[in-house]
Chains A and B, each alone.
Chain A
Amino acid sequence: MGLNQHSNLFFKNNVNVGAKFSASVIIIVTIMLISGWEHLLINMIIIITAAMLTAGNVILKRIIPFLYICFMMILIHSIANPANSTYWHFFGIEGVMYGFRISLRLLAIVTAANWFILTSDISDITAWFARINSDLGIIVSLVLSILPAMKLQMKITMDVQSTRGLDYNKNLFHKLKCYIAVIVPVIIKTIIRAHEMSRLLYLRGHGKKMKSIHSQWKISDYAVISSVIILLSVNLWIIFF
């Protein structure tokens, strides 16, 4: 087991979900307050490094797909941003910088959210939300249970429709038509599922008072929160002083 996996396990087992959730929210708030691209870039490097050390290299795999979106945002702004006045060939420098700032913010938010998910068990997340409010806990649980069910359904329906002769490898228009044959059964089954789930909730006594479980914060929880508060404070000092 590598160092990354050890630290991931440590964060899963020894840091309270509430502390991790609060830390992620503080990081996102910090990022939203910063406007300069150099300042954002430094924060981004700090956040990604910390996330890799605590959650493992797998976090990079989660971020990489967003790089394409970032590239497209920069490209679109460089061409179409109305604030463009200085040009390199036909790319507006103001648009590039604007797109770059948005991209850095997006990457930081994605990193913080993925860090929270990767360092927490699903059952711990739902239990923590349930402690705040039982309905909120149920909503989170149901969403988290319906998503893998939808993903599985998507795979099953794609298989079933291909056994009926559907070819997914033709032109774009054909592909769009194909996906109607896949998406519609998935949506219909999800609607039926949601309807039946509401009945199951009713039958299984939802709405009665659950016993609340309190958990004490440990030193590790305070350490995580302190680190992000320091990050926020330093950034605020740089912004305002």
Chain B
Amino acid sequence: MDNILLKQSTGLSVTGLSLKYPGSDKQVLDDINFSLNMGEVCFITGANSSGKSSLLAALAGLIPSSIPGELTGKILLNNKVADELSASLCIQDSDIYLFEEVYREIAYPLLNASFSSEETADKVRVISELSGVKELLGRKMSTLSGGERQKVAIAAALACDKELILLDEPYEQFDPCSVKNILGSLKRYAHDNKRVLIITSKRYEYADGIADRLFNIENGRLTEIRNPVYSYPHKMRADALPKKTAQTGDEDSSLISFTNVTHKFSENSGISGINICFNKGEITGIMGPNGAGKTTLLKHCIGLLRPHEGSVLYSGKDIKDIPVNKLAFKTGMLFQNPDDQIFNERADIEIAWGLTIRGMNKKRAVEKAVNILDEFGMNQIVRMHPHSLSRSVRQVIALASVLVTEPDILILDEPTRTMDDRLIDVTMKMIKRYLKIDGAVVIISHDPSVIWNYTERCYLINNGEIAASGYTESIFKEPDALKSCGLDSHPFITGLL
């Protein structure tokens, strides 16, 4: 970007910022005070519902103009009152975009700023290179993966060319390599163009070398972390693992096995020649970069995709002719977005629905749903509307609706993506509890700490092929295999190696 501010600037100053939403006594933001210089990158970390997104919405001027709320305090940018036109905000949900064409999504803020078509084209080219979406400019948004859409959202936020750039959990769907690249580019951009960049995240693992300032927010209160410790706890592994009940690796122990499975999409993405097995009594992890074919692979376990070549065997029997709803009686699958499935007005009824369509009496099904929420420690949400709850709690409801049916195999596609450490711990304990002796659990995750702490066996996938397989402990000690999948740059792996 060539629009470098030449004047002397003082940056962002926030004084006594407090926020309450209508109809609630809870102080969402509680007397927040901080200041940042132009060109600084700031990370704000915090657990679910700690106030991160509300703080960014307030800084972006969305509260109270677009989101109702009682906001007090002062936000100044370069000694002027900041309004919605001073900041650009990249929202958390990458499913939300304005236009079908990627180019138009990025170009729109520039066209609104009265740039000509030629100037807009030049600027879109520069921004797309910076954000790593240059190859996507000719694509349609609905054809992109979640990670790719998130990159486009960041590009659109940069295209607004504002002095204050706010990114709300911008990299939760990225693979580690993409996170490193984009954070490096954003830091250079903020520094060179004298922008204030604020990034929120649940953890600060990627802030090392990127953040100039680091804050933590808890119950709406902001505190600065002066001496951050950028290391991961690796100690949980021994007690987190499930007990092995079968001799792994032999044919009798495998519950689902893939034999030379190939499934190709029109753009030549997909999977090819996959030979894997998920063993009884084991939790298996699957990792790999964005677009590697992880979800494609797991969709074969429940029949949502069928192999173009090869076969998928369940207890030695080919499942090619078994319909999805029949496979669902043995296999439970959790998808990335809980909103794709939630349709009941109460959490307990939503969880019980899977049982009622299996023929269970509704009263009994609701009782079981209440029990499982109790096990999650969430009995207070039993009668609440799922959409009045946070995204991470909705993900718990979606998971509970799978667990309550007690399937033999659990297929979990990034189950902990929106969760903080506490909720991850609770969730993974529940998953382990519901792992049957002759059942299996398969987890896809971009978070190596989840795979390390909770899985026994692990597969690395890259470009639709198995890059490495084996016991998690040994895989995590193979730098070459991790590097081939771009995982070596994750702070957890770096610390481990």
* Chain A interfacial positions (CB closer than 8 Å to B): 122-123, 141-142, 144-145, 148-149, 152-153, 156-157, 159-168, 180-181, 184-185, 188-189, 192-193, 196-211, 213
Contacts and interface: CB of A to CB of B under 8 A. Distances in A.
Contact of A164 (B88, B357, B387): B357
A220 B486 CA distance: 53
Contacts of A167: 323, 325, 357
B236 to A, nearest CB: 30
Contacts of A205: 85, 109, 112-113, 160
Nearest to B357: A165
Given A145-B100, A185-B340, A202-B84, 4 more contacts: A141-B100, A162-B328, A168-B325, A210-B112
Contact of A160 (B85, B96, B341, B387): B341
A154 B206 CA distance: 36
A164 B109 contact: no
A205 B107 CA distance: 12
B325 A200 contact: no
Contacts of A200: 91, 96-98
Interface string B89-104: 1010101111111001
Given A162-B324, A163-B328, A165-B328, A211 B341 contact: no
Contact of B98 (A141, A148, A164, A211): A141
B100 A148 contact: yes
Interface in B379-416: 387, 401-402, 405
Given A153-B340, A157-B341, A166-B325, A211 B357 contact: no
Nearest to B67: A199
Interface of B: 60, 62, 65-67, 84-85, 87-89, 91, 93, 95-101, 104, 108-109, 111-117, 140-142, 156, 159-160, 302, 304, 323-325, 328-329, 331-333, 335, 339-343, 353-354, 357-358, 387, 401-402, 405
B160 A202 contact: no
22 contacts: A122-B100, A141-B100, A148-B100, A156-B335, A159-B304, A163-B302, A164-B357, A164-B405, A167-B323, A181-B343, A181-B353, A185-B339, A192-B96, A196-B96, A200-B91, A200-B96, A202-B62, A203-B87, A204-B98, A204-B109, A207-B112, A213-B117
B358 A204 contact: no
Among B89, B111, B401, find the residue whose CB has the most chain A CB atoms closer than 10 A: B111
A162 B333 CA distance: 10
Nearest to B161: A205
A213 B119 CA distance: 14
B91 A141 contact: no
A198 B115 CA distance: 22
A185 B324 contact: no
Given A166-B357, A199-B66, A208 B341 contact: no
Given A197-B98, A203-B89, A204-B156, A188 B339 contact: yes
A217 B100 CA distance: 27
Nearest 3 A/B pairs, CB to CB: A184-B343, A205-B112, A145-B100
Contacts of A149: 95, 142
A207 B84 CA distance: 13
Contacts of A163: 302, 304, 324-325, 328, 331-333, 335
Contact of A209 (B67, B88, B114, B304): B114
B98 to A, nearest CB: 6
Contacts of B117: 211, 213
Nearest to B62: A199
Contact of B342 (A185, A209, A213): A185
Contacts of A153: 340
Given A165-B357, A166-B357, A199-B62, A211 B115 contact: yes
B332 to A, nearest CB: 8
B343 A180 contact: yes
Nearest to A178: B357
Nearest to B100: A145
B142 A185 contact: no
Contacts of B156: 204
Contacts of A144: 100
A199 B92 CA distance: 13
A165 B95 contact: no
Given A196-B91, A197-B96, A199-B66, A208 B340 contact: no
Contact of A208 (B96, B113, B335): B113
B111 A188 contact: no
Among A122, A149, A204, A213, find the residue whose CB has the most chain B CB atoms closer than 10 A: A204
A197 B88 CA distance: 14
A167 to B, nearest CB: 5
A213 B114 CA distance: 11
Nearest to B57: A199
Contacts of A211: 111, 114-117
A165 B114 contact: no
Contacts of B141: 145
Nearest to B92: A196
Contacts of B343: 180-181, 184-185, 188
Contacts of A188: 339, 342-343, 387
Given A141-B104, A205-B112, A211-B114, A160 B340 contact: yes
Contacts of B325: 162-163, 165-168
Given A145-B141, A202-B66, A211-B114, A193 B95 contact: yes
B115 to A, nearest CB: 7
Contacts of A210: 111-112, 114
Among B113, B358, B401, find the residue whose CB has the most chain A CB atoms closer than 10 A: B113
A148 B84 contact: no
A149 to B, nearest CB: 6
A181 B341 CA distance: 8
A24 to B, nearest CB: 22
A193 B160 contact: no
B60 A141 contact: no
Contacts of B66: 198-199, 202
Contact of B88 (A142, A168, A193, A203): A203
A132 to B, nearest CB: 16
A165 B405 contact: yes
Contacts of A193: 95-96
A165 B99 CA distance: 34
Given A123-B101, A153-B340, A188-B343, A165 B112 contact: no
A110 to B, nearest CB: 23
Contacts of B387: 188
Given A164-B354, A184-B343, A197-B96, A204 B108 contact: yes
